[in-house]
Amino acid sequence: MQKVVSKLKKIRKWIITDTINGFLLYYPKKIKQKEADFKALLALAIVSLVWGTTWVVSRQGVLHMPALQLSGIRQIIGGSCYLLFFLYKKYPLPSKADLLPLIVLSVLNFVMSNGLSTWGVKYISAGLASIMGAIFPLWIVLIGFASGNTTPPKKAIAGVLIGFSGICVIFYDHLADFINPDFQFGIFLSLVATLSWAFGTLYTKKHAKVFNPYFGLGFQMVLAGVVLVSISSFDSGFMALSEIPAISWFAILYLVFFGSIIGFSCYLYALQHLPTEQTSIYAYINPLVALIAGWIVLSEEISFIILLGCFITLFGIYLVNTSFAGK
Protein backbone atom coordinates (compact mmCIF):
# COMPACT_ATOMS: atom_id res chain seq x y z
CA MET A 1 0.00 0.00 0.00
CA GLN A 2 2.82 2.38 0.88
CA LYS A 3 4.49 1.60 -2.43
CA VAL A 4 1.30 2.48 -4.28
CA VAL A 5 0.97 5.75 -2.34
CA SER A 6 4.62 6.54 -3.04
CA LYS A 7 4.17 5.92 -6.76
CA LEU A 8 1.03 8.07 -6.81
CA LYS A 9 2.96 10.92 -5.14
CA LYS A 10 5.71 10.62 -7.74
CA ILE A 11 3.15 10.64 -10.57
CA ARG A 12 1.44 13.68 -9.04
CA LYS A 13 4.80 15.42 -8.74
CA TRP A 14 5.63 14.63 -12.36
CA ILE A 15 2.24 15.89 -13.52
CA ILE A 16 2.51 19.15 -11.54
CA THR A 17 6.14 19.68 -12.56
CA ASP A 18 5.46 18.97 -16.23
CA THR A 19 2.38 21.17 -16.19
CA ILE A 20 4.26 24.10 -14.65
CA ASN A 21 7.23 23.65 -16.99
CA GLY A 22 4.91 23.35 -19.98
CA PHE A 23 3.03 26.46 -18.91
CA LEU A 24 6.26 28.41 -18.47
CA LEU A 25 7.41 27.33 -21.92
CA TYR A 26 4.06 27.87 -23.60
CA TYR A 27 2.97 31.11 -21.97
CA PRO A 28 5.74 33.34 -23.34
CA LYS A 29 5.10 31.85 -26.81
CA LYS A 30 1.43 32.62 -26.38
CA ILE A 31 2.23 36.18 -25.38
CA LYS A 32 4.58 36.58 -28.34
CA GLN A 33 1.93 35.15 -30.67
CA LYS A 34 -0.67 37.58 -29.34
CA GLU A 35 1.81 40.43 -29.71
CA ALA A 36 2.53 39.37 -33.31
CA ASP A 37 -1.19 39.14 -34.09
CA PHE A 38 -1.81 42.53 -32.50
CA LYS A 39 0.98 44.14 -34.55
CA ALA A 40 -0.35 42.60 -37.76
CA LEU A 41 -3.92 43.72 -37.02
CA LEU A 42 -2.64 47.18 -36.11
CA ALA A 43 -0.77 47.32 -39.43
CA LEU A 44 -3.95 46.29 -41.25
CA ALA A 45 -5.94 48.96 -39.40
CA ILE A 46 -3.39 51.60 -40.42
CA VAL A 47 -3.63 50.48 -44.07
CA SER A 48 -7.43 50.63 -43.97
CA LEU A 49 -7.42 54.11 -42.45
CA VAL A 50 -4.51 55.67 -44.37
CA TRP A 51 -5.38 54.38 -47.84
CA GLY A 52 -8.96 55.55 -47.28
CA THR A 53 -7.81 59.11 -46.58
CA THR A 54 -5.50 59.26 -49.64
CA TRP A 55 -8.54 59.70 -51.91
CA VAL A 56 -9.52 62.86 -50.06
CA VAL A 57 -5.96 64.20 -49.96
CA SER A 58 -5.49 63.48 -53.68
CA ARG A 59 -8.66 65.38 -54.54
CA GLN A 60 -7.56 68.33 -52.42
CA GLY A 61 -4.16 68.35 -54.13
CA VAL A 62 -5.33 68.06 -57.76
CA LEU A 63 -7.71 70.98 -57.39
CA HIS A 64 -4.65 73.26 -57.44
CA MET A 65 -2.26 71.58 -59.91
CA PRO A 66 -2.26 69.09 -62.82
CA ALA A 67 -3.25 65.65 -61.55
CA LEU A 68 -0.67 63.67 -63.53
CA GLN A 69 2.10 65.99 -62.34
CA LEU A 70 1.05 65.49 -58.73
CA SER A 71 0.91 61.72 -59.16
CA GLY A 72 4.28 61.71 -60.95
CA ILE A 73 6.09 63.74 -58.28
CA ARG A 74 4.60 61.52 -55.61
CA GLN A 75 5.82 58.37 -57.36
CA ILE A 76 9.33 59.73 -57.93
CA ILE A 77 9.81 60.75 -54.30
CA GLY A 78 8.20 57.61 -52.85
CA GLY A 79 10.01 55.27 -55.24
CA SER A 80 13.35 56.94 -54.54
CA CYS A 81 12.88 56.29 -50.82
CA TYR A 82 12.37 52.58 -51.50
CA LEU A 83 15.38 52.38 -53.84
CA LEU A 84 17.63 54.17 -51.36
CA PHE A 85 16.59 51.74 -48.63
CA PHE A 86 17.24 48.85 -51.04
CA LEU A 87 20.76 50.14 -51.78
CA TYR A 88 21.41 50.84 -48.08
CA LYS A 89 20.59 47.22 -47.23
CA LYS A 90 22.85 46.04 -50.11
CA TYR A 91 20.27 43.61 -51.45
CA PRO A 92 21.28 41.81 -54.69
CA LEU A 93 20.11 43.45 -57.92
CA PRO A 94 17.71 41.49 -60.15
CA SER A 95 18.82 40.26 -63.57
CA LYS A 96 18.11 42.16 -66.79
CA ALA A 97 15.48 39.57 -67.70
CA ASP A 98 13.53 40.55 -64.58
CA LEU A 99 13.15 44.16 -65.71
CA LEU A 100 10.49 43.57 -68.39
CA PRO A 101 7.81 42.35 -65.92
CA LEU A 102 8.62 45.32 -63.68
CA ILE A 103 8.20 47.74 -66.61
CA VAL A 104 4.85 46.19 -67.54
CA LEU A 105 3.67 46.38 -63.93
CA SER A 106 4.89 49.97 -63.67
CA VAL A 107 2.72 50.93 -66.63
CA LEU A 108 -0.36 48.99 -65.49
CA ASN A 109 -0.26 49.69 -61.74
CA PHE A 110 1.26 53.15 -61.47
CA VAL A 111 1.11 55.00 -64.80
CA MET A 112 -2.37 53.80 -65.74
CA SER A 113 -4.05 52.84 -62.48
CA ASN A 114 -2.62 55.37 -60.02
CA GLY A 115 -2.17 58.14 -62.59
CA LEU A 116 -5.67 57.89 -64.03
CA SER A 117 -7.39 57.43 -60.65
CA THR A 118 -5.61 60.57 -59.37
CA TRP A 119 -6.72 62.41 -62.51
CA GLY A 120 -10.28 61.08 -62.16
CA VAL A 121 -10.68 62.32 -58.59
CA LYS A 122 -10.36 65.86 -59.95
CA TYR A 123 -13.80 65.48 -61.55
CA ILE A 124 -15.71 63.23 -59.14
CA SER A 125 -15.97 63.08 -55.36
CA ALA A 126 -13.34 61.27 -53.30
CA GLY A 127 -15.98 58.90 -51.91
CA LEU A 128 -17.27 57.90 -55.35
CA ALA A 129 -13.71 57.50 -56.67
CA SER A 130 -12.84 55.17 -53.78
CA ILE A 131 -15.87 52.98 -54.50
CA MET A 132 -14.89 52.82 -58.17
CA GLY A 133 -11.37 51.86 -57.11
CA ALA A 134 -12.66 48.99 -54.97
CA ILE A 135 -14.46 47.14 -57.77
CA PHE A 136 -11.33 45.71 -59.44
CA PRO A 137 -12.09 42.14 -58.19
CA LEU A 138 -15.26 42.28 -60.31
CA TRP A 139 -13.17 43.12 -63.39
CA ILE A 140 -10.83 40.21 -62.64
CA VAL A 141 -13.74 37.77 -62.76
CA LEU A 142 -15.08 39.25 -66.01
CA ILE A 143 -11.62 39.27 -67.65
CA GLY A 144 -11.00 35.65 -66.68
CA PHE A 145 -14.43 34.62 -67.98
CA ALA A 146 -14.09 36.59 -71.25
CA SER A 147 -10.63 35.16 -71.96
CA GLY A 148 -11.86 31.62 -71.37
CA ASN A 149 -9.03 30.95 -68.90
CA THR A 150 -11.28 30.37 -65.92
CA THR A 151 -14.84 29.39 -65.17
CA PRO A 152 -15.87 31.53 -62.21
CA PRO A 153 -17.78 29.86 -59.36
CA LYS A 154 -21.48 30.62 -59.08
CA LYS A 155 -20.74 32.59 -55.94
CA ALA A 156 -18.35 34.83 -57.90
CA ILE A 157 -20.92 35.37 -60.66
CA ALA A 158 -23.49 36.35 -58.02
CA GLY A 159 -20.91 38.70 -56.49
CA VAL A 160 -20.29 40.40 -59.84
CA LEU A 161 -24.01 40.90 -60.44
CA ILE A 162 -24.59 42.21 -56.92
CA GLY A 163 -21.51 44.45 -57.13
CA PHE A 164 -22.55 46.07 -60.37
CA SER A 165 -26.10 46.47 -59.12
CA GLY A 166 -24.65 48.41 -56.20
CA ILE A 167 -22.78 50.65 -58.65
CA CYS A 168 -26.08 51.25 -60.47
CA VAL A 169 -27.70 52.26 -57.17
CA ILE A 170 -24.88 54.75 -56.53
CA PHE A 171 -25.14 56.15 -60.07
CA TYR A 172 -28.89 56.58 -59.56
CA ASP A 173 -28.01 59.24 -57.01
CA HIS A 174 -25.78 60.92 -59.62
CA LEU A 175 -28.12 60.82 -62.64
CA ALA A 176 -28.20 64.60 -62.85
CA ASP A 177 -24.38 64.72 -62.79
CA PHE A 178 -24.12 62.64 -65.97
CA ILE A 179 -25.15 65.71 -67.94
CA ASN A 180 -21.81 67.22 -66.91
CA PRO A 181 -19.00 66.19 -69.34
CA ASP A 182 -16.40 66.55 -66.55
CA PHE A 183 -18.29 64.03 -64.41
CA GLN A 184 -18.49 61.62 -67.35
CA PHE A 185 -14.76 62.02 -67.93
CA GLY A 186 -13.98 61.38 -64.25
CA ILE A 187 -16.06 58.18 -64.25
CA PHE A 188 -14.33 57.05 -67.46
CA LEU A 189 -10.85 57.65 -65.98
CA SER A 190 -11.78 55.79 -62.78
CA LEU A 191 -13.13 52.79 -64.71
CA VAL A 192 -10.01 52.56 -66.89
CA ALA A 193 -7.84 52.87 -63.75
CA THR A 194 -9.57 49.97 -61.98
CA LEU A 195 -9.50 47.89 -65.17
CA SER A 196 -5.75 48.53 -65.47
CA TRP A 197 -5.23 47.49 -61.84
CA ALA A 198 -7.14 44.26 -62.55
CA PHE A 199 -4.90 43.49 -65.55
CA GLY A 200 -1.87 44.31 -63.39
CA THR A 201 -3.06 41.90 -60.71
CA LEU A 202 -3.56 39.12 -63.26
CA TYR A 203 -0.17 39.82 -64.86
CA THR A 204 1.52 39.66 -61.46
CA LYS A 205 -0.07 36.31 -60.73
CA LYS A 206 0.78 34.79 -64.13
CA HIS A 207 4.11 36.27 -65.21
CA ALA A 208 5.93 38.22 -62.57
CA LYS A 209 8.64 36.59 -60.48
CA VAL A 210 9.22 37.18 -56.80
CA PHE A 211 11.13 40.45 -56.51
CA ASN A 212 12.58 42.19 -53.54
CA PRO A 213 9.56 44.35 -52.58
CA TYR A 214 11.66 47.47 -51.99
CA PHE A 215 13.36 47.31 -55.38
CA GLY A 216 10.16 46.20 -57.16
CA LEU A 217 8.06 49.03 -55.75
CA GLY A 218 10.86 51.59 -56.02
CA PHE A 219 11.67 50.80 -59.65
CA GLN A 220 8.01 50.77 -60.72
CA MET A 221 7.21 54.02 -58.92
CA VAL A 222 10.24 55.98 -60.16
CA LEU A 223 9.74 54.83 -63.76
CA ALA A 224 6.02 55.65 -63.60
CA GLY A 225 6.77 59.02 -62.00
CA VAL A 226 9.15 60.01 -64.79
CA VAL A 227 6.57 58.99 -67.43
CA LEU A 228 3.72 60.86 -65.69
CA VAL A 229 5.73 64.06 -65.19
CA SER A 230 6.90 63.90 -68.83
CA ILE A 231 3.31 63.55 -70.05
CA SER A 232 2.03 66.32 -67.78
CA SER A 233 4.76 68.69 -69.06
CA PHE A 234 2.65 69.07 -72.22
CA ASP A 235 -0.24 70.38 -70.08
CA SER A 236 -0.63 74.15 -70.27
CA GLY A 237 -1.11 74.15 -66.49
CA PHE A 238 2.23 72.41 -65.82
CA MET A 239 3.99 74.08 -62.88
CA ALA A 240 7.59 74.61 -61.89
CA LEU A 241 8.35 73.12 -58.48
CA SER A 242 8.55 76.62 -56.99
CA GLU A 243 5.05 77.42 -58.33
CA ILE A 244 3.28 74.44 -56.76
CA PRO A 245 1.06 75.78 -53.94
CA ALA A 246 1.60 74.72 -50.35
CA ILE A 247 -1.65 72.75 -50.18
CA SER A 248 -0.57 70.58 -53.13
CA TRP A 249 2.88 70.04 -51.59
CA PHE A 250 1.13 68.96 -48.40
CA ALA A 251 -0.93 66.48 -50.44
CA ILE A 252 2.18 65.14 -52.20
CA LEU A 253 4.14 64.69 -48.98
CA TYR A 254 1.14 63.10 -47.24
CA LEU A 255 0.68 60.67 -50.13
CA VAL A 256 4.41 59.85 -50.15
CA PHE A 257 4.86 59.36 -46.42
CA PHE A 258 1.51 57.89 -45.41
CA GLY A 259 0.19 56.49 -48.70
CA SER A 260 3.40 55.04 -50.18
CA ILE A 261 5.87 54.43 -47.34
CA ILE A 262 3.72 53.81 -44.25
CA GLY A 263 0.79 52.31 -46.17
CA PHE A 264 2.76 49.85 -48.31
CA SER A 265 5.07 48.87 -45.43
CA CYS A 266 2.12 48.08 -43.16
CA TYR A 267 0.37 46.24 -45.99
CA LEU A 268 3.42 44.03 -46.63
CA TYR A 269 3.76 43.33 -42.89
CA ALA A 270 0.06 42.41 -42.59
CA LEU A 271 0.30 40.24 -45.71
CA GLN A 272 3.21 38.31 -44.17
CA HIS A 273 1.53 37.72 -40.80
CA LEU A 274 -2.19 37.37 -41.60
CA PRO A 275 -4.22 35.20 -44.00
CA THR A 276 -4.74 36.77 -47.43
CA GLU A 277 -8.51 36.74 -46.99
CA GLN A 278 -8.18 38.69 -43.74
CA THR A 279 -5.72 41.17 -45.24
CA SER A 280 -8.08 41.94 -48.13
CA ILE A 281 -10.57 43.46 -45.68
CA TYR A 282 -8.90 46.85 -46.25
CA ALA A 283 -10.66 46.99 -49.64
CA TYR A 284 -14.04 47.08 -47.86
CA ILE A 285 -13.03 49.67 -45.27
CA ASN A 286 -11.25 52.16 -47.59
CA PRO A 287 -14.43 53.42 -49.33
CA LEU A 288 -16.18 53.91 -45.98
CA VAL A 289 -13.21 55.90 -44.65
CA ALA A 290 -13.09 57.94 -47.88
CA LEU A 291 -16.82 58.69 -47.70
CA ILE A 292 -16.59 59.87 -44.08
CA ALA A 293 -13.34 61.82 -44.63
CA GLY A 294 -14.77 63.45 -47.77
CA TRP A 295 -17.85 64.46 -45.82
CA ILE A 296 -15.76 65.95 -42.98
CA VAL A 297 -12.95 67.61 -44.97
CA LEU A 298 -14.54 68.44 -48.32
CA SER A 299 -18.22 68.65 -47.30
CA GLU A 300 -19.10 65.92 -49.81
CA GLU A 301 -22.66 64.71 -49.60
CA ILE A 302 -23.46 61.29 -48.14
CA SER A 303 -27.02 60.26 -48.96
CA PHE A 304 -28.87 57.11 -47.99
CA ILE A 305 -28.77 55.97 -51.64
CA ILE A 306 -24.95 56.32 -51.76
CA LEU A 307 -24.52 54.38 -48.50
CA LEU A 308 -26.94 51.68 -49.68
CA GLY A 309 -25.14 51.35 -53.01
CA CYS A 310 -21.77 51.29 -51.25
CA PHE A 311 -22.77 48.42 -48.95
CA ILE A 312 -24.34 46.45 -51.84
CA THR A 313 -21.18 46.90 -53.93
CA LEU A 314 -18.86 45.91 -51.08
CA PHE A 315 -21.01 42.84 -50.38
CA GLY A 316 -20.63 41.81 -54.01
CA ILE A 317 -16.86 42.26 -53.78
CA TYR A 318 -16.86 40.20 -50.58
CA LEU A 319 -18.64 37.33 -52.37
CA VAL A 320 -16.11 37.45 -55.23
CA ASN A 321 -13.11 37.43 -52.87
CA THR A 322 -14.41 34.62 -50.68
CA SER A 323 -15.39 32.49 -53.69
CA PHE A 324 -11.73 32.28 -54.70
CA ALA A 325 -10.35 31.90 -51.17
CA GLY A 326 -7.76 29.15 -50.97
CA LYS A 327 -7.49 28.79 -54.77
> In this structure, is residue 305 part of a structural domain?
yes
Average pLDDT of span 169-180: 83
Instruction: Kindly tell me if the per-residue pLDDT of 176 is higher than 50.
Output: yes
Residues 44-77: tens digit of each pLDDT: 889 989 999 999 999 999 999 999 999 999 999 9
Whether residue 23 lies inside any domain: the answer is no
Query: Residue 32: inside a domain, yes or no?
Result: no
What pLDDT does residue 325 have? 60
Residue 111 lies in a domain: yes
The tens digit of pLDDT for each residue in 248-307 reads 999 999 999 999 889 888 888 887 888 766 777 777 788 888 989 999 988 888 888 888
Asked whether residue 19 is domain-assigned, the answer is no
When pLDDT is averaged across residues 179-197 and rounded to a whole number, the result is: 93
Residue 79 domain flag: yes
With a pLDDT cut of 90, the percent of the chain lying above it is: 37
pLDDT, residue 137, reads 78
Q: Are 77 and 255 in contact (CB under 8 A)?
A: no
User: Is there a domain that residue 25 lies in?
Assistant: no
pLDDT classification of 209: cutoffs 50, 70, 90: low
What separation in angstroms does the CA of 145 have from each of 34, 141, 149, 228? 41, 6, 7, 32
Phi and psi torsions of 236, nearest 5°:
-65, -20
Mean pLDDT within 192-214: 79
- How many domains does the chain fold into? 1
Are residues 310 and 131 in contact, defined by beta-carbon separation less than 8 angstroms?
yes
Residue 249 belongs to some domain of the structure: yes
pTM: predicted TM-score of the whole model, two decimal places: 0.80
Collapsed DSSP state (helix, strand, coil) of residue 93: coil
Residues 70, 246: Cα–Cα separation, whole Å: 12
* pLDDT, tens digit, 9 for 90 and up, residues 96-121: 777 888 899 999 999 999 999 999 99
| Residue-range definition of the domain harbouring residue 121 | 47-323
Across the chain, mean pLDDT equals 82
